[in-house]
A and B are shown apart, each in its own frame.
Chain A
Amino acid sequence: MRTRILTILAYTGAALTLVVAVCVPFVLMGAFSNAVAHAGLHIDAAYSGGTVARTIDRGRYTIVVYQPVEPRLLERIEPFVQIVFEPAESLPAHVSDEIDLDGDGRPDVRVSFNVPADANAPLRGDVTALNATYISLTNVAGESFSRMVVRAGKQIVVRIPLHEGPARR
Chain B
Amino acid sequence: MLGLATGPVCLATCGPVVVPWMLVQPQGLRGHSRQLFLFLAARLAGYLVFACAVWLVGSAIPHALPQAWTGRSWLMGAVQVLLAGALVVYAAGWSHRRCVVAKTTGNLVQIGEAPVVKRSGALALGFLTGINLCPPFLVAGVRAAQLAHLSAALWFFFCFFAGTAVWFFPFLSLGFLKRTPAIVTVARMVAVLLACWYGFSGISILIERTFHG
Contacts and interface: CB of A to CB of B under 8 A. Distances in A.
Contact of A73 (B9, B66, B70, B138): B9
The 8 closest A-B pairs by CB, nearest first: A73-B12, A165-B69, A73-B9, A166-B66, A74-B12, A166-B142, A166-B69, A74-B13
Nearest to B12: A73
A134 to B, nearest CB: 17
Interface residues of A, number: 7
17 contacts: A73-B9, A73-B13, A74-B12, A74-B13, A74-B134, A74-B135, A165-B66, A165-B69, A165-B70, A165-B142, A166-B65, A166-B66, A166-B69, A166-B142, A167-B66, A169-B139, A169-B142
A24 B12 CA distance: 37
A165 B134 CA distance: 12
The dominant DSSP class at the A interface is loop
Interface residues of B, number: 13
A74 B9 contact: yes
A87 interface: no
A145 B105 CA distance: 50
B8 interface: yes
Interface in B114-139: 134-135, 138-139
A71 B138 CA distance: 14
Contacts of B139: 169
Contacts of B8: 73
A169 B70 CA distance: 14
Interface in A15-48: none
